[in-house]
Chain A
């Protein structure tokens, strides 16, 4: 049991030892890789970020020049070298540190190994103990073998652990190398990062510069545009100035043309007057000409009439010669005419008597005519009768003939029958035949008689018709004769009637045609009016709805017009008000700005200034008048300025109104140097002029001398 307990303690100590060995190794391994691993992660992330930043920066800095870069690169190279040295130093330091750490680790491992050795020694001791103990127990041997085996296993484990430690140490070395390389890389990247940062700064600076330059460039562009615009405006102005110049050059020409046109105008006006006068004259002359022509025509006519009358007179005078009635004067002619008239009267009387005899004869004739007609009719009747008788006779004769023929025939038949009777006895048949023949005969005879009666009747009728016809013809002939006799009497009357009737007929025909045409025209008009919409007020009427679109539209229109009128009125009143308040009288009120206070003040000022002006003028006028009268009274001369720089002096004592002296101002204005000009009056004062002006050269003395002279002249005379 103790062995077991001992074994258990041994095992537990082994376990703890193993754990001890493994733990530090693990911890070492863990720390170092952990340390290495976290660092690596951070580095990696940093690297990614840096790469991204670098990409960004590279995109910004694509424009940079190569030389600068190269320089910078060189600089950076130098710097890098310096830094590399620094880094090398630092890395060497780190390396030393690492080496120290390694040494420490190795030391630890050695310690651990020493511990292991110690543990081995302990183990050996234990084994010895075990061997010592083996003797005690054979069972323990086995256990010890087992333990040995276990120990062997433990040894294996230990060797493995050793291997592991070696491996781990190798790994540590590898890791350390990696770490170093990565540190180097890190340093390089850091350098690059610094370089990039500097580049970035440079580039940002340059970007700012660019922006500023951009802004300046835009400003300059704007200025340029403005200048261009101004230039364009100036060009336009130049063009306008050119046009104006051209127009101005044309101005004198236009003035010349105007003068010419004015002259032409005046000339035309003169000629117009002349032409109007001439026109009046021509009209007068034309009228005269017309009158003369008319007079000429009348003269011609009168001459023709005269000739006619002469001819007539000649004819009248020749009548006497032509008729051979010894006519020399109209009285003879009248005598002849009277004679002829008397003859005519006598002849007319004869005519009337003859006419009356003719009428009586005709009456007798007319009475005789119907008698004749009657006799004729009687004669015709007699003739008719005779003809009838003749026809009767003929018929009777024919009848007789027929009868005789019948009788002969009958006789012959009888004889034949009698002859035949002797030969044979056909008496019944014969009697029958005889009867038949007799019947036939009767029939024929009756037929004959009928026919004859018919014929007779027809003939009678024909005869009566013939009689009638003949009577009618006789009457017609009588009437015709009457008509002709009547017509002989009244030929004139019937002819007149016929002609009048014909005329009437023609007139009626014409009127009918006219009326027909009128009718057609009226029908057409009516048709047209119907088309246009006319109607007969008696039969039809026209209605429509009261509220129809036309009336509604008209209403709306009138309302619109009213509204517009009202608005117009309102606007006019407003306009009037504005004009009254403003006081502006412009023809087309384009802008009616209500007059501001300034304008009103200015207007008032203007008015006051004008008033002042007016007053000043009046005052000046008065004063000058006073001064002039004072001068006149005191000096005795009235001084007038007729022309610029010329002064006319008229003396109080002048004998005539026109006596005046003329002085002209010479030299600069206001100097007072005067010269006397020649006038009629001054020629009379030559002595004084010589004395006072030429010799004494004093105008006031001269003037006073003249006054004295005139005064003396006046008082003396």
Chain B
């Protein structure tokens, strides 16, 4: 663990945030039923029981994206991470889970660890994930077969790695947005928003 007992460094913060995203995305996939529930196992993290996929292809994909995301978090070049849920029959975007990342660039220059206890950060992360689980109550049912995609908003001048390509923002037309809680490691601040297609318009 690169997080020292005294405080959080940039690298440690990037790891924490990447870990949160890994578990958060798994929770979203389980709650929205994108993949069947029997392909998930339970693990303990942040003092609560979370779901983690056992599908090897999916695991591979997630590790690829999260590892790349960790690098970009360390460089402070990433602005948003979006989980887009698309209906396969109509090719419409039904849901968008957007995580805005605000990075404090002074941490890059100074290098001194910041005073924030890991417990507090974990507490905040726990409340965010609980909220994600609770959103199931008001989000509209996904009745058709759906697939998901991960989009990353980065600075314009960033060099795009080999297996990545540019894409559109994949917005929902006539959407309702709900702001969820945010958490901060004192170097990175993550705001969560869920946007879903209005059902009366469908």
Bound-state CA distance A156–B100 (Å) is 140
> Is there a chain B Cβ closer than 8 Å to A542's Cβ?
yes
CB-CB under 8 A for A540 and B153, given A532-B195, A533-B82, A554-B91: yes
A550 and B86 contacting across the interface, CB-CB below 8 Å: yes
Task: Tell me how far the C-beta of B21 lies from the nearest C-beta in chain A, rounded to whole angstroms.
Answer: 14
B164 and A545 contacting across the interface, CB-CB below 8 Å: yes
Interface centre among A531, A538, A544, A551 (most CB of B within 10 A): A544
Q: Which residues of B contact A530 (CB under 8 A)?
A: 100
Our pick among A528, A533, A541, A545 for the contact of B154 (Cβ within 8 Å) is A541
Task: Tell me how far the C-beta of A257 lies from the nearest C-beta in chain B, rounded to whole angstroms.
Answer: 45
Q: Which residues of B contact A543 (CB under 8 A)?
A: 151-152, 154, 160, 164-167
> Is there a chain A Cβ closer than 8 Å to B149's Cβ?
yes
CB-CB under 8 A for A547 and B169, given A532-B195, A542-B152: no
Q: What is the 8 Å Cβ interface bit string for chain A, positions 155-190, against chain B (1 contact, 0 not)?
A: 000000000000000000000000000000000000
Our pick among A528, A533, A539 for the contact of B98 (Cβ within 8 Å) is A533
Task: Tell me how far the C-beta of B91 lies from the nearest C-beta in chain A, rounded to whole angstroms.
Answer: 7
Bound-state CA distance A544–B170 (Å) is 11
Nearest B residue to A537, CB-CB: B156
B88 and A549 contacting across the interface, CB-CB below 8 Å: no
Our pick among B65, B145, B155 for the contact of A545 (Cβ within 8 Å) is B65
> Is there a chain B Cβ closer than 8 Å to A557's Cβ?
yes
Task: Tell me how far the C-beta of A539 lies from the nearest C-beta in chain B, rounded to whole angstroms.
Answer: 6
Bound-state CA distance A545–B167 (Å) is 9
B149 and A548 contacting across the interface, CB-CB below 8 Å: yes
Bound-state CA distance A458–B118 (Å) is 75
Our pick among A531, A532, A544, A553 for the contact of B152 (Cβ within 8 Å) is A544
Bound-state CA distance A542–B163 (Å) is 14
Q: Which residues of B contact A540 (CB under 8 A)?
A: 79, 153-156
A542 and B61 contacting across the interface, CB-CB below 8 Å: no
> Is there a chain A Cβ closer than 8 Å to B42's Cβ?
no
Q: Which of B6-14, B135-143, B172-180, B181-189 contacts A (4 or more CB under 8 A)?
A: B172-180
CB-CB under 8 A for A544 and B88, given A532-B171, A532-B175, A533-B171: no
Nearest B residue to A535, CB-CB: B153
Task: Tell me how far the C-beta of B185 lies from the nearest C-beta in chain A, rounded to whole angstroms.
Answer: 22
A548 and B169 contacting across the interface, CB-CB below 8 Å: no
CB-CB under 8 A for A533 and B169, given A544-B164, A548-B149, A549-B61: yes
Bound-state CA distance A16–B145 (Å) is 123
B148 and A549 contacting across the interface, CB-CB below 8 Å: yes
A548 and B61 contacting across the interface, CB-CB below 8 Å: yes
Q: Which residues of A contact B121 (CB under 8 A)?
A: none
> Is there a chain A Cβ closer than 8 Å to B48's Cβ?
no
A538 and B169 contacting across the interface, CB-CB below 8 Å: no
CB-CB under 8 A for A531 and B167, given A541-B154, A549-B61, A549-B147: no
Q: Which residues of A contact B169 (CB under 8 A)?
A: 533-535, 542
Task: Tell me how far the C-beta of B150 lies from the nearest C-beta in chain A, rounded to whole angstroms.
Answer: 6
Bound-state CA distance A557–B147 (Å) is 11
- Which positions 98-157 of chain B face chain A at CB distance < 8 Å? 98, 100, 145, 147-156
Q: Which residues of A contact B195 (CB under 8 A)?
A: 531-533
A541 and B158 contacting across the interface, CB-CB below 8 Å: yes
> Is there a chain A Cβ closer than 8 Å to B84's Cβ?
yes
> Is there a chain B Cβ closer than 8 Å to A546's Cβ?
yes
Bound-state CA distance A530–B158 (Å) is 21
A532 and B177 contacting across the interface, CB-CB below 8 Å: yes
Task: Tell me how far the C-beta of A615 lies from the nearest C-beta in chain B, rounded to whole angstroms.
Answer: 63
Q: What is the 8 Å Cβ interface bit string for chain A, positions 362-388, against chain B (1 contact, 0 not)?
A: 000000000000000000000000000
A545 and B150 contacting across the interface, CB-CB below 8 Å: yes
Q: Which residues of A contact B86 (CB under 8 A)?
A: 550
Q: Which residues of B contact A557 (CB under 8 A)?
A: 88
Task: Tell me how far the C-beta of B46 lies from the nearest C-beta in chain A, rounded to whole angstroms.
Answer: 25
Bound-state CA distance A544–B68 (Å) is 11
Nearest A residue to B147, CB-CB: A553
Q: Which residues of B contact A534 (CB under 8 A)?
A: 169, 171
A531 and B193 contacting across the interface, CB-CB below 8 Å: yes
A544 and B151 contacting across the interface, CB-CB below 8 Å: yes
> Is there a chain A Cβ closer than 8 Å to B43's Cβ?
no
Bound-state CA distance A334–B163 (Å) is 96
Bound-state CA distance A653–B175 (Å) is 100
A544 and B149 contacting across the interface, CB-CB below 8 Å: yes
Task: Tell me how far the C-beta of A675 lies from the nearest C-beta in chain B, rounded to whole angstroms.
Answer: 85
Bound-state CA distance A714–B153 (Å) is 117
> Is there a chain A Cβ closer than 8 Å to B5's Cβ?
no
Interface centre among A528, A539, A550, A551 (most CB of B within 10 A): A550
Bound-state CA distance A544–B78 (Å) is 12
Bound-state CA distance A554–B92 (Å) is 12
Task: Tell me how far the C-beta of A714 lies from the nearest C-beta in chain B, rounded to whole angstroms.
Answer: 93
A546 and B154 contacting across the interface, CB-CB below 8 Å: no
Nearest B residue to A540, CB-CB: B153
Bound-state CA distance A534–B171 (Å) is 8
B148 and A542 contacting across the interface, CB-CB below 8 Å: no
A531 and B98 contacting across the interface, CB-CB below 8 Å: yes
Q: Which residues of B contact A531 (CB under 8 A)?
A: 98, 177, 179, 193, 195
Bound-state CA distance A668–B155 (Å) is 113
Task: Tell me how far the C-beta of B153 lies from the nearest C-beta in chain A, rounded to whole angstroms.
Answer: 5
Task: Tell me how far the C-beta of A555 lies from the nearest C-beta in chain B, rounded to whole angstroms.
Answer: 10
Bound-state CA distance A533–B196 (Å) is 12
Q: What is the 8 Å Cβ interface bit string for chain B, positions 47-63, against chain A (1 contact, 0 not)?
A: 00000000000100100
Task: Tell me how far the C-beta of A572 lies from the nearest C-beta in chain B, rounded to whole angstroms.
Answer: 24
Task: Tell me how far the C-beta of B105 lies from the nearest C-beta in chain A, rounded to whole angstroms.
Answer: 14
Bound-state CA distance A506–B64 (Å) is 62
> Is there a chain A Cβ closer than 8 Å to B96's Cβ?
yes
Q: Which residues of A contact B147 (CB under 8 A)?
A: 549-550, 552-554
B154 and A549 contacting across the interface, CB-CB below 8 Å: no
A541 and B148 contacting across the interface, CB-CB below 8 Å: no
A545 and B64 contacting across the interface, CB-CB below 8 Å: yes
Our pick among B100, B145, B153 for the contact of A542 (Cβ within 8 Å) is B153
CB-CB under 8 A for A550 and B149, given A533-B169, A543-B160: yes
Bound-state CA distance A553–B61 (Å) is 14
A546 and B177 contacting across the interface, CB-CB below 8 Å: no
Q: Which residues of A contact B155 (CB under 8 A)?
A: 539-541
Q: Which residues of B contact A546 (CB under 8 A)?
A: 163-165
Task: Tell me how far the C-beta of B40 lies from the nearest C-beta in chain A, rounded to whole angstroms.
Answer: 15
Which B residues are closer than 8 A to A by beta carbons? 58, 61, 64-65, 79-80, 82, 84, 86, 88, 91, 96, 98, 100, 145, 147-156, 158, 160, 163-172, 175, 177, 179, 193, 195
Report 17 cross-chain contacts, Cβ distance below 8 Å, ordered by A residue. A531-B179, A533-B171, A535-B153, A540-B79, A541-B154, A541-B166, A542-B152, A542-B153, A543-B152, A545-B165, A547-B61, A548-B61, A548-B150, A550-B148, A551-B149, A554-B91, A554-B147
A545-B61, A545-B150, A550-B84 given; name 11 further pairs at CB < 8 Å: A531-B193, A532-B195, A534-B171, A535-B153, A541-B155, A544-B150, A545-B163, A546-B165, A549-B149, A554-B88, A557-B88
The 8 closest A-B pairs by CB, nearest first: A553-B147, A550-B149, A550-B147, A531-B177, A548-B149, A543-B164, A544-B151, A540-B153
